[in-house]
Amino acid sequence: MAERITKSKTTEERAARNGGRRLPSIAVEEETVRTRLDVPEPLLLELEGYARYFAAATGRKPRSMNDVILGIVEDYVRGDPDFARWQRENPHTNTLESPFSAKADPRASAPG
């Protein structure tokens, strides 16, 4: 799978609040790596519903489904206390080989 770096623009800089509950930031301004994600149709429908909910709750329309998915995933990863603790306890994990590399999983290089 070919990867390329792109730059996205900020449309939502701060996490929005709805009834005291923080909603994820939907768009971010950071270097990104283009990759492919297969989403089952039922989940895609839920994500589209979430995008409509986000727009209604904040008055801001997400730019794309990609931004919705990234916002939700980023919010989840950054908000997981067990993951944060694991990162503190394992500070050198960013130098390890990706668990998705062909070396780590022989199926990753198999034609799909």
Residue 14 has pLDDT above 70, yes or no: no
pLDDT of residue 55: 94
Question: Do 19 and 38 form a contact (C-beta atoms < 8 A)?
Answer: no
- Quick count: other Cβ atoms within 10 Å of Cβ 54? 23
Mean pLDDT of 102-111: 51
Supply the mean pLDDT for the chain. Answer: 76
Q: What is the pLDDT of residues 31-76, one digit of tens each?
A: 777 888 999 999 999 999 999 999 999 999 999 999 999 899 989 9
Q: What pTM did the predictor assign?
A: 0.59
As for how many domains the chain has, the answer is 1
Torsion of CA 4, 55, 77, 109, to 10 degrees: -40
Q: The domain containing residue 19 runs over which residues? A: 5-33+40-109
Torsion of CA 69, 75, 78, 81, to 10 degrees: -120
- What is the SS3 assignment for 13? coil
Token match 């950071």: residue? Answer: 30
pLDDT of residue 28: 54
Question: Do 5 and 34 form a contact (C-beta atoms < 8 A)?
Answer: yes
Identity of residue 40: P
Is residue 4 very low, low, confident or very high in pLDDT (cuts 50, 70, 90)? very low
* Helix and strand numbers, DSSP H then E, in the chain: 3, 4
